[in-house]
Structure 1
Amino acid sequence: MTTELRVLDPAEYESWTEGLLRALLVDTEPPEERELWRELTEFDRSLAAWDGDDVVGSASALSFRMSVPGGAVVPTAGVTMVHVAATHRRRGLLRSMMRRQLDDIHEAGTEPLAALTASEPQIYGRFGYGLATRKLLADIDTSRVTLDVPPEADDVRLRFVADPASVWERCEAVYARRVGARAGMLERGRLLHRLPLLDPERQREGALPLACVLAERDGEVTGYARYFARDSSDAYGVPRGTVALRDLEALDPASYGALWRYLFDLDLTTTLVAHNRPVDDAWQHMVSDVRQCGLRYRDALFLRPVDVGAALAARTYTVPVDVVLEVEDAFCPWNAGRWRLSGDAKGASCERTRDGADVALSVRELGAAYLGGESLGTMAFTGRVRELREGALAAASSAFLSDPLPWLPHGF
């Protein structure tokens, strides 16, 4: 058998999507979700692998901007919709699509970073993607846990909105002001703001429709939370409802505390589920009993520099750094070699050099450390980051770290 890899024709979108859903073990896609993803799809950046009339592989990229340490938002290729049919495994098809995609991004020269979320995280390391952000998952027993919020939370006006779409612009204004404050967040242009509003009935699992509560201070919207509420009771008729948080953003501690208190206090509920929050989310310091919060962590964003020099120069560094990095990148050899990184909290430069290397690592570890959530010093214990000049690793590791920790607010 032979396969043909080509750019997706809009007329082939339905076949392309059906092949992807089949590989992901998804039966059907709600019409509103399929329509949104069709609008989001950039056909000239989408690849389809064909075996005759059958779609046997796909890979796409979205054009967006992601925040990096220091607050800049950097053009990033959002790799998505990747699959290889089970009938066509072990033929190099995924490698061919990753090769074509990264070559195209590099040749365009406008996106120094590529990022993705992975259904199977073991797949993408060989293409240079490193685990750059994690997410916090919590199942909080609100019948046992109380919340200590700032006193100013009492001054915050909360307003329930039954139709979140009616206030999306106000929520997006809050979100936009938060993007630069935490690395890993996405600017939500080009329809991305509609992703958190998707509310297909079949995916609610018996919950009420998506709802929204706004936090307001002095007539200004200073925060929001969007959530689902699900009624339930035990064998004795005692209410055991669940609140499932989709997203929450706030501009100040008072609004943040007021919104979390609202979610904790909803009548007839005893569980608050939050399955994508920053690892260092502040509410963890406000609860009375963290053991009753069911905390766990999962991988989130995988990232790789497509252009090492431009990527490292685009962010700032916690402490001054002047280090020569010996970068290994077999898949994108244009990145391989020595790079002198000089920077601080105000800015940075990264240029090729012939000077002796201080730290050696692969592009995968560089991608993992890039947003400041993973420590180069810790990764040195894997043997994949090597110190070549005494003291250089500790200095570089400190410079790369970010506060607050990076976080991806939603998938793509």
Structure 2
Amino acid sequence: MTAELRELDQSDWKQWYETLIVAFGGVAEAPEEKALWDALTEFDRALGIWDGDVCVGTAGGFSFRLSVPGGALVDATGVTMVSVAATHRRRGLLTSMMRRQLDDVRRRGEALAVLTASEPAIYGRFGYGIASTSLRADIDTTRVRLSVPEGTDDVRLRYADPAAASADCEAVYARLVPTRPGMLARQPGWERLPLLDPEKERDGASPLQCVLAERDGETVGYALFSVKPDWDFQGPKGEVRVKQLDALDPAAYAALWRFLFDIDLTSRLTFRNRPVDDPLLHLVSDVRRCDLGFRDSLYVRLVDVGAALEARAYRAPVDVVLDVRDSFCPWNEGRWRLHGDPRSASCKRVDDAASADLSLSVRELGAAYLGGTSLAGLAAAGRVRELRPGALAEADLAFGSAVAPWLPHGF
């Protein structure tokens, strides 16, 4: 087979996207969902592999700004829409796209690449580490109550049309992005994603609903949700499905959750993506009846080790020499001295003769980068080696984050 890897031309998008859909099972998306991804596709960052006139591989990239510990927003490539046709597996096509893509990320001067994985086993060999986890819940609201903070009753709630309220919701979201690692600053066009609500995917639930939380005429929070009515012989047992909820202070946050818990004719509340340290866990009366679960979320890959480690802040002073392994991006191989604190950081290459304090691969650096994965935990699994006594504890404390990293939505 003679396969050609090339940048996507806009005229080829339809076939390219159909190749992706077939690779993910072949079920057609709703027209509004397809139109959104068409509008968001960055053609100069999209790759296709062609066998003659047939597209057999796809990979895309989005231009993102990712929040990191310390509140900085760092340019990152969001790797997306990756597929290889089942007829062309085990021929190195995925590796060739990953190679081309990471070379392009480096050329653009972006220090990070990030993705969400359809299959977790795939991307570790390309240097991506699991950097954040998401929380899901299925709560019996007939048996779980909320204890809310002072000031909750002062928050005014009102229904709003989701599209009409989008600007207010996005303003709240934007203020929160620097406060939690792993969040994406939404670029123009991405404000449409939270509003995406294809009827075919509702599974009997209502259209998307929106409630705004206000104080003194200012929007201080919002919830996007739907309600799936249900009844049995004993009466109503509807389900509230929370899609997104953000608030600027504890009272507004609690007021929104209390509203969702108390919606008439419902007895369940579910969500699929919240931070693992969500404050809701401290408001509920019985965490066992929340049926909690966890799932890997954002994968991070350091494309430029020095620039990436300099871009974030550190929770405590740290001065370590890292011996980094990176066979897929060999420009990262070698020893780097990281000197940082809560205000600033520097990370420079040092001579390989310099004594190293920790030895690890770029995959472990990616996992620990946002502060949600412990270097000590990785060391306990044999993935990080301590070469200087005390260096692991120093680095583990410094890399940590006061709040868990979280990716609010996929891409």
TM-score normalised per structure 1: 0.98
**Aligned-partner Cα distance in 2 for 1:190–1:84:** 30
Please list, as runs of the form range in 1=range in 2, the aligned pairs for 1:49-88 lying within 5 A after superposition: 49-88=49-88
**Aligned-partner Cα distance in 2 for 1:217–1:322:** 45
**Counterpart position of 1:143:** 142
2:404 maps to 1:405: yes
Once the two structures are superposed, what CA deviation does each residue of 1:366-390 show, in whole Å capped at 9, x if it has no partner? 0000000000000001211000000
**Aligned-partner Cα distance in 1 for 2:164–2:320:** 50
Please list, as runs of the form range in 1=range in 2, the aligned pairs for 1:2-401 lying within 5 A after superposition: 2-109=2-109, 111-161=110-160, 163-234=161-232, 236-354=233-351, 355-401=354-400
3-state SS of the aligned residue for 2:164?
A: helix
**Aligned-partner Cα distance in 2 for 1:373–1:400:** 9
Query: What displacement does 1:188 show?
Result: 0.5
3-state SS of the aligned residue for 1:367?
A: helix
CA contact (8 A) 1:4 1:50 kept: yes
3-state SS of the aligned residue for 1:258?
A: helix
Once the two structures are superposed, what CA deviation does each residue of 1:124-175 show, in whole Å capped at 9, x if it has no partner? 00000000000001000001100101121000000111x2011100000000
Query: What displacement does 1:233 show?
Result: 1.0
Query: What displacement does 1:190 show?
Result: 2.5
Paired letter, 1:257:
A
3-state SS of the aligned residue for 1:254?
A: helix
Paired letter, 1:340:
R
Paired letter, 1:276:
N
Gaps of 5+ in 1: none
Paired letter, 1:381:
A
3-state SS of the aligned residue for 2:244?
A: strand
3-state SS of the aligned residue for 1:325?
A: strand
TM-score normalised per structure 2: 0.99
Runs of 4+ in 1 over 4 A off after TM superposition: none
**Aligned-partner Cα distance in 1 for 2:53–2:292:** 47
Once the two structures are superposed, what CA deviation does each residue of 1:297-318 show, in whole Å capped at 9, x if it has no partner? 0000000100000000000000
RMSD between aligned residues: 0.7
**Aligned-partner Cα distance in 2 for 1:60–1:148:** 45
Query: What displacement does 1:211 show?
Result: 0.4
3-state SS of the aligned residue for 1:377?
A: helix
**Aligned-partner Cα distance in 1 for 2:142–2:327:** 53
Paired letter, 1:264:
F
Paired letter, 1:179:
V
3-state SS of the aligned residue for 2:165?
A: helix
CA contact (8 A) 1:230 1:243 kept: yes
3-state SS of the aligned residue for 2:230?
A: coil
3-state SS of the aligned residue for 1:164?
A: coil
CA contact (8 A) 1:106 1:307 kept: yes
3-state SS of the aligned residue for 2:99?
A: helix
Range with bigger deviation, 349-358 or 223-232: 349-358
- The number of residue pairs the alignment matches comes to 409
**Aligned-partner Cα distance in 2 for 1:333–1:382:** 24
CA contact (8 A) 1:40 1:190 kept: no
**Aligned-partner Cα distance in 1 for 2:260–2:319:** 46
Paired letter, 1:187:
A
CA contact (8 A) 1:358 1:389 kept: yes
Paired letter, 2:188:
R
Query: What displacement does 1:53 show?
Result: 2.1
Query: What displacement does 1:237 show?
Result: 4.6
**Aligned-partner Cα distance in 1 for 2:335–2:189:** 39
Once the two structures are superposed, what CA deviation does each residue of 1:236-258 show, in whole Å capped at 9, x if it has no partner? 15101000000000000000000
Range with bigger deviation, 100-109 or 300-309: 100-109
Query: What displacement does 1:26 show?
Result: 3.9
Paired letter, 2:229:
D
Paired letter, 2:285:
S
